[in-house]
A and B are shown apart, each in its own frame.
Chain A
Amino acid sequence: MGKIKKKYEAGAATQYISRKQACRKLQLSLADFRRLCILKGIYPHEPVHKKRVNKGSTTNKTFYFLKDIQFLLHEPVINKFREYKIYVRRLKKAEARLEKGIANHIRENKPTYRIDHIVRERYPNFIDAVRDLDDALCMCFLFATLPKSGRLHIQTIDLCRKLTVEFMHYVIATRSLRKVFVSIKGFYFQAEVMSQPITWIIPHSFPHNHPTDVDFRVMSTFTEFYTAMLGFVLYKLYQTQNLHYPPRIPLLSNVNVTLNDDNKKRKRKEEIQNLCDENEKSLEVVASLNMPLAQFQDANDQEEDAAADEEVEDLLKEGLTETQEEDQKKSEDEIKQRKLFEGCKMFLSREVPREAMVFIIRSFGGEVSWDITAGLGSTFSIDDEKITHQIVDRPMNEKPYISRYYVQPQWIFDSVNAKMQLPVKGYLPGDVLPPHLSPFVNEENGAYVPPERQKVIALQRGEDPGINADEDELSEEDESEEEQEEEDGESDEEKVKENIDEEDESPVVAITPGKKDVDRKLNPDQIAAEEKRLAVMMIPKKQRRLYEKIKYGERRKKREAEQLTQKRKAIDDEKKATRKKEKRRKRAA
């Protein structure tokens, strides 16, 4: 008789292994096993046929691939976990027996481990690690803001803070910030590192409640891995930019130099000395994000960069093919965007979130400073006459300087998203701000576009969206405007009549040089629409049906968008009407 085939001995049942079995195979406790899986990047999987894998039962268990667990067996860090377990046991014994000398000796020889090889193994190329930066950055930014506790040591928090500061310095140096979105959760940023878009979130600087349903050990293990990975990635990124890693600032004496009075200087110096310890001073100055970093080669590289830029521009001016023209446009736009705040000198008031603002402004070439007593790293004071913008968030009580614009912080966020410096008009202190739109929303054709976004698009094209005709400016002008409109209408008609009369009266028959017809300045939209219509006519009959179906769907969306615009219009009209009524009542009273 041949070999009897038994159930669950081959196939899917042998490919998966449950969590408990995996722990037994690796001879680790559950906490250690979890930590190892997080560090190595081993994930649980749901088998397609649970019944087969679970040997007939359908309870929901956590399953891992057997191959993954077999791969884990070769990990040398497991020995370190076991050593740590024994270390804890010995330490507890010594402490319980009140043998302090022995306990100290044991504590000195605490086993530690490194995970460089795990990082290298998980990311075979550097670009893979850069792609995974999203998660790493979010974790580091989050842990940098947490308070220290029994589970979270000060070294981890300091390390996270240091890494986040270094990353922000990198983004500033490469001017790679692209989008900003301020939500109630925190600040969302998107930067382009090695042509990979990287999105991360920074929490608002507010105290958090420690959440109860989050496993803190899991999160701290993730942070452990991500800090190691981020360190290596930053080192490589700094290398590509010829910057020193860890970042250094060339001349510390540039800090706080621009005061004239000697007495003032002394007083200010004392104040500054109280801000932080001497040994922390360099770190704090780096963390203020306001100083350029030390590079490996100084003047030559800058010249080379400038020459390279010029060459690129020359190439761009020459005629190229269509796709290359598109690329050319994109790169031109990018170059424009990088110099968004170049030439601007901004001063931040105390109530503005300093770090985020410094990061954003400096990433686009601007210069920033703040009050000396608010923190280290301020380069010029409020009295400086060359300040172009001052960012204020509360009602202004002091006498305003004439040479500078006073704006609310949303001006900066919206300018970054619009890729141009928006007119300061709607953002003055005390104004009701326009809504802050999300730059991460992709607008499809025919979708509803709110009027605020339309204004921005118009500004980007260089047209005046009619900011002067704001609904906010309601006064007697409104009524007079209406009257004027009626008069204008009449005058237009009269003019037309006059023209016709003139033509009839004077039938001059003479050969005069002809006037050129005024080129109809078609909107880029209209040109595109015409081209599209031509292309549609050329579609063969077979594919026209499909095209019609697509068009039907699009038309439906457009209808919905129109409905929304009408709703918005109705609301705006209501608002206008109520305001008018109030004004009339005021005038009557």
Chain B
Amino acid sequence: MFFQLVTLYLNRMTAQDKSDKTRKPRWSKNKKRNWRRRIDISEVEDGLDKSRLEQRTGGLVKNKANHELFFIEKKSGDTGLTHRQRRKEKRLTADKIIRPNPDEVLPSSRRNIAKLRRKEKHLNLMTKLQIYPRKRKTQVNKSVKKSNDMDIWSYNPRELTCNLFGKNDVTVHTETIIGEAQVKRPKHLFSKPATDAKAVEVAHAGASYNPTFEDHQNLLLAEHKSELAKCRETERIERSVMVDASTIATAESKEKELTEGLFIDGNDSGVHEDETDEDDDLNNINISVGKPMTKKQRKELARKQIEDKEKSKDWADKLRQNEVYRIKTFLSEIQEKERQIEAKKKRKMERKKQPMLSSTKFVEPDHDLQLSSEIRGSLRQLKPEGNLMVDRYKSLQKRCIIEPKQRFKPPRRKYKVKYQEKRTFREIEI
């Protein structure tokens, strides 16, 4: 019962601890029993275990001399550490500055000049005695391993990567735990993006250095059409922006507008001349009002209107009734329209749309051709046309391997740069 109470009490204490970490569990130090129970002698016991182990296996370590425990390594680099681990064990630059290596002597300080001279002397002595110091290796690019086997298809792709770059931590991990490497090339990457376009599109037959008449004419015609289309585009834009010169305000017309209605009461002689002309026109206008219509006339007018209405209605009805005999033509018209719509749809679907991969649109390159006057017909006199670099670049863009790009233009300044001389310099007079 008492023990239960004690344990409850202790638990309560630990619960309090969770909220308030600074408190230690208190126990009464009166009784010997508590001392026997509460004290944690595990550390002492561990120490004793260790010393007993040491005694069992060759004597206590603290009693041993240095040469019995350690040996000076004659062969360098064989610490069993990987490149990464060794880099970790390197001294930090901060440490190097604070506590420099006594062997490394900076040549900049005056005190060290003497040291350097001493070192040089020592080196010369060693070379005379033919005792050479160990050379420090320069940092060789160890990742570039020259593989003499040029047949890469005899290797696994992962093997090659490991040979060239060493194993990644991730690959090691996945290999040990899962048993195979996780990273595979996605399947859709094994086919090219645009499968219908060929890598090398052979030029049109009219682009031969000695073409037949028909082929050359066909090529010229095709290019002519595309050029016309371009011209039409530019013309269309110009037309929509076209401004009639006569509608543009000149200084004269502006003045005239502004002075309209002013200078009326014979102040300026020049204005009078215009007025006389206007008066004549005003006098010539004849406004005839006429007599009002009589009842008879009104009735006749109404009757006429009704008659006209009926006539037109009858005519419309007649036409409508006769349309029954035109059903066939209507049907054929409808069918024709539907066919046209479908053909248009089909043509639109078939016209392959070049996917838009960036903000600039892909522009089809012009065919390279020579005019009839430029064709020489001889290989010796041939003057080549077109640039292969541009041709290849455009072909890559067409096949969606790279996205079309505009030449980088540095952004235009929104506000002009203002320069100001500093006040202190402004005051200086040369």
Q: Which residues of A contact B (CB under 8 A)?
A: 38, 41-46, 59-62, 65, 67-68, 71, 74, 76, 80, 105, 108-109, 111-114, 116-117, 119-122, 124-126, 128, 132, 134-135, 138-139, 142, 181-186, 188, 199-201, 203-204, 206, 208-209, 211-215, 218-219, 222, 231-232, 235-236, 239, 245, 351-353, 393-394, 408-410, 432-433, 435-438, 440-441, 448, 450, 452, 564, 568, 571
Q: Which residues of B contact A353 (CB under 8 A)?
A: 379
- Determine if B212 and A199 form an interchain contact, defined as CB atoms under 8 angstroms apart: no
Interchain Cβ contacts within 8 Å, total number: 223
Given the interface pairs A109-B138, A117-B161, A183-B208, the reply to whether A433 lies near B359 with Cβ below 8 Å is no
- Determine if B185 and A71 form an interchain contact, defined as CB atoms under 8 angstroms apart: yes
Residue on A nearest B152 in the bound complex, by CB:
A120
- Determine if A182 and B389 form an interchain contact, defined as CB atoms under 8 angstroms apart: no
Inter-chain CA distance A109–B139, complex, in Å, is 7
Pick the interface stretch among B1-9, B115-123, B128-136, B399-407.
B399-407
Q: Please tell me if B237 contacts chain A, counting CB pairs below 8 Å.
A: no
- Determine if B214 and A564 form an interchain contact, defined as CB atoms under 8 angstroms apart: yes
- Determine if A438 and B382 form an interchain contact, defined as CB atoms under 8 angstroms apart: no
The smallest beta-carbon distance between A137 and chain B, in angstroms, is 9
Add 13 more A-B contacts to A60-B358, A114-B144, A185-B385 (CB < 8 A). Answer: A44-B403, A61-B359, A71-B189, A117-B160, A119-B152, A125-B153, A128-B190, A138-B388, A203-B384, A206-B383, A219-B393, A436-B210, A450-B215
- Determine if A211 and B389 form an interchain contact, defined as CB atoms under 8 angstroms apart: yes
Q: Which residues of B contact A (CB under 8 A)?
A: 138-141, 143-144, 147, 150-153, 155, 157, 160-161, 164-165, 168, 170, 183, 185-186, 188-190, 193, 198-200, 202-205, 207-215, 355-359, 368-370, 377-380, 382-393, 396, 400-403, 405, 407
Contact of B393 among A74, A214, A394 (CB under 8 A): A214
Q: Show 22 A/B contacts (Cβ-Cβ < 8 Å), sorted by A.
A: A44-B403, A60-B359, A71-B186, A76-B165, A116-B164, A120-B152, A121-B157, A121-B185, A125-B153, A183-B203, A183-B207, A184-B203, A184-B382, A186-B384, A200-B200, A206-B383, A214-B390, A219-B393, A232-B152, A353-B379, A441-B205, A452-B212
- Determine if A182 and B209 form an interchain contact, defined as CB atoms under 8 angstroms apart: yes
- Determine if B405 and A215 form an interchain contact, defined as CB atoms under 8 angstroms apart: yes
Contact of B379 among A128, A222, A410 (CB under 8 A): A410
Residue on B nearest A565 in the bound complex, by CB:
B214
- Determine if A199 and B202 form an interchain contact, defined as CB atoms under 8 angstroms apart: yes
The smallest beta-carbon distance between B37 and chain A, in angstroms, is 53
The smallest beta-carbon distance between B196 and chain A, in angstroms, is 15
- Determine if A450 and B212 form an interchain contact, defined as CB atoms under 8 angstroms apart: yes
Q: Which residues of A contact B188 (CB under 8 A)?
A: 65
The smallest beta-carbon distance between B184 and chain A, in angstroms, is 8
Q: Which residues of A contact B393 (CB under 8 A)?
A: 214-215, 218-219
Inter-chain CA distance A102–B215, complex, in Å, is 64
Q: Which residues of A contact B200 (CB under 8 A)?
A: 134-135, 138, 188, 199-201
- Determine if A138 and B392 form an interchain contact, defined as CB atoms under 8 angstroms apart: yes
Please indicate which of the listed interface residues A44, A218, A393, A568 has the most CB atoms of chain B within 10 Å of its own CB.
A44
Q: Which residues of A contact B407 (CB under 8 A)?
A: 212-213
- Determine if A185 and B388 form an interchain contact, defined as CB atoms under 8 angstroms apart: yes
Inter-chain CA distance A353–B215, complex, in Å, is 25
Inter-chain CA distance A410–B157, complex, in Å, is 47
- Determine if B147 and A437 form an interchain contact, defined as CB atoms under 8 angstroms apart: no
Inter-chain CA distance A134–B141, complex, in Å, is 34
Residue on B nearest A448 in the bound complex, by CB:
B214
Residue on A nearest B208 in the bound complex, by CB:
A436
Contact of A114 among B164, B213, B369 (CB under 8 A): B164
Given the interface pairs A42-B189, A43-B193, A120-B155, the reply to whether A211 lies near B384 with Cβ below 8 Å is no
- Determine if A113 and B144 form an interchain contact, defined as CB atoms under 8 angstroms apart: yes
Q: Which residues of A contact B185 (CB under 8 A)?
A: 71, 121-122
Residue on B nearest A216 in the bound complex, by CB:
B389
Inter-chain CA distance A448–B161, complex, in Å, is 56
Contact of A112 among B144, B190, B405 (CB under 8 A): B144
The smallest beta-carbon distance between A387 and chain B, in angstroms, is 20
Q: Which residues of A contact B153 (CB under 8 A)?
A: 120, 125-126, 232, 236
Residue on A nearest B374 in the bound complex, by CB:
A184
Contact of A393 among B152, B155, B378 (CB under 8 A): B378
Q: Which residues of B contact A432 (CB under 8 A)?
A: 377
- Determine if B382 and A204 form an interchain contact, defined as CB atoms under 8 angstroms apart: yes
Inter-chain CA distance A335–B390, complex, in Å, is 38
Given the interface pairs A114-B144, A245-B150, the reply to whether A62 lies near B403 with Cβ below 8 Å is yes
- Determine if A235 and B150 form an interchain contact, defined as CB atoms under 8 angstroms apart: yes
Inter-chain CA distance A46–B377, complex, in Å, is 45
Contact of A203 among B141, B168, B204, B388 (CB under 8 A): B388
Residue on A nearest B408 in the bound complex, by CB:
A215
Q: Which residues of B contact A394 (CB under 8 A)?
A: 380
Residue on B nearest A132 in the bound complex, by CB:
B199
- Determine if A352 and B379 form an interchain contact, defined as CB atoms under 8 angstroms apart: yes
- Determine if B402 and A218 form an interchain contact, defined as CB atoms under 8 angstroms apart: yes
Inter-chain CA distance A346–B205, complex, in Å, is 28
Inter-chain CA distance A483–B148, complex, in Å, is 80
Inter-chain CA distance A182–B203, complex, in Å, is 10
Given the interface pairs A68-B186, A432-B377, the reply to whether A219 lies near B157 with Cβ below 8 Å is no
Residue on B nearest A184 in the bound complex, by CB:
B385
- Determine if A185 and B384 form an interchain contact, defined as CB atoms under 8 angstroms apart: yes
The smallest beta-carbon distance between B31 and chain A, in angstroms, is 59
Residue on A nearest B170 in the bound complex, by CB:
A74
Q: Which residues of A contact B390 (CB under 8 A)?
A: 211, 213-214
The smallest beta-carbon distance between A236 and chain B, in angstroms, is 6
Q: Which residues of A contact B388 (CB under 8 A)?
A: 138, 142, 185-186, 201, 203, 208
- Determine if A43 and B401 form an interchain contact, defined as CB atoms under 8 angstroms apart: yes
Q: Which residues of B contact A43 (CB under 8 A)?
A: 193, 400-402
- Determine if B359 and A59 form an interchain contact, defined as CB atoms under 8 angstroms apart: yes
The smallest beta-carbon distance between A475 and chain B, in angstroms, is 23
Q: Which residues of B contact A46 (CB under 8 A)?
A: 355-357
Residue on B nearest A47 in the bound complex, by CB:
B355
The smallest beta-carbon distance between B310 and chain A, in angstroms, is 55
